[in-house]
């Protein structure tokens, strides 16, 4: 294969957020572009959240073909879309955009990626009737939205209820969600691990949607009452730095199937790649590209 040379005709894609230097998205997407022989390149660009409006006006006319938004921009950019698709409308958050000649179409691949990543680890093919989510931020909404759209009957989200901005935002989201998926109930609980016994006992998926554990900083694994969880519950963590958080590590030691942040990133990546190119790529291939980069970087 001839070496790829970025040129004046190369299509540009990017991930935008702050911080951004930890992102693995350029790794998995550039590998996929090269695998298909596409004249495309994916970059990581830091964006100051205080200047989102200026950024969005610029992006509309810069001819980037597509981009991904990460924290803290996902909800901030929603109002700048010309069209909003699928789960993004429910969540009020955008993390994937297709630019069609200056017309911005927003998606939420967090939502789809969460569900397909969890389904890939559901080796016993258990029905998923209750999902227990730690957190009430943007990713928690994405996970809850897809769970409801997939027919999950009960969604429980927990957070410190004195954090009123998160709670009020999640309540508004829950109202929108129940109009779209009236078969699902959404329950909010306070961050009180001793009071989670009944809710956890019937949960088929336990998902960490908080930053607790990022860069090994956090005590969720010490707070969480694993003894209350169903023995077959699938444990999920959106974090991929480290690849296996202590929260997941302990769950795995107790015999639970686990889904890590690189699983999520890979399944998100598949969705975004399909939106931008119309091509299908295997999530396991994207995961292996990410793992290879992590291993090489460690040396």
- Catalytic residue of the set 40, 74, 141, 246: 74
3-state secondary structure of 275: helix
Q: Residue 244 catalytic?
A: no
Give exposure, 18-42, as e/b (b: 16+ Cβ within 10 Å).
eebeebbbbbbbbbbbeeeebebbb
HSE-up (13 A, CA, CB side) for residue 70 = 22
- From the CA atom positions of the chain, what is the Rg in Å? 19
Interacting residues of 296 by C-beta distance below 8 A, sequence separation 6+: none
Q: Which residues are catalytic?
A: 74
């Amino acid at each position: 294969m001839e070496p790829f040379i970025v040129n004046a005709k190369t299509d540009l894609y990017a991930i935008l957020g702050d911080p951004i230097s930890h992102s693995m998205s350029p790794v998995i997407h550039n590998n996929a572009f090269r695998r298909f022989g596409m004249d495309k390149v994916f970059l990581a660009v830091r964006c100051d959240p205080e200047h989102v409006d200026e950024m969005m006006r610029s992006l509309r006319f810069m001819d980037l073909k597509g981009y991904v938004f990460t924290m803290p921009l996902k909800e901030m950019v929603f109002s700048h879309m010309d069209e909003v698709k699928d789960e993004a409308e429910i969540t009020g958050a955008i993390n994937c955009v297709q630019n069609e000649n200056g017309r911005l179409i927003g998606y939420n691949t967090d939502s789809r990626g969460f569900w397909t990543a969890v389904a890939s680890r559901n080796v016993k093919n258990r029905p998923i009737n209750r999902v227990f989510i730690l957190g009430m931020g943007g990713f928690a909404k994405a996970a809850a939205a897809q769970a409801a759209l997939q027919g999950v009957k009960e969604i429980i989200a927990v957070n410190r209820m004195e954090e009123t901005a998160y709670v009020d935002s999640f309540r508004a989201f829950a109202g929108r969600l129940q109009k779209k998926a009236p078969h699902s109930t959404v329950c909010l609980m306070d961050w009180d691990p001793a009071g989670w016994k009944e809710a956890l006992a019937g949960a088929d998926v336990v998902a960490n949607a908080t930053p607790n554990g990022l860069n090994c900083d956090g005590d969720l694994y010490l707070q969480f009452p694993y003894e209350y969880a169903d023995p077959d519950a699938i444990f999920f963590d959106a974090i991929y730095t480290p690849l296996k958080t202590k929260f997941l590590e302990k769950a795995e030691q107790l015999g639970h199937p686990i889904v890590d942040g690189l699983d999520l990133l890979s399944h998100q990546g598949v969705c975004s790649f399909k939106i931008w190119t119309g091509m299908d790529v295997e999530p396991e291939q994207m995961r292996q590209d990410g793992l290879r980069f992590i291993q090489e970087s460690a040396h």
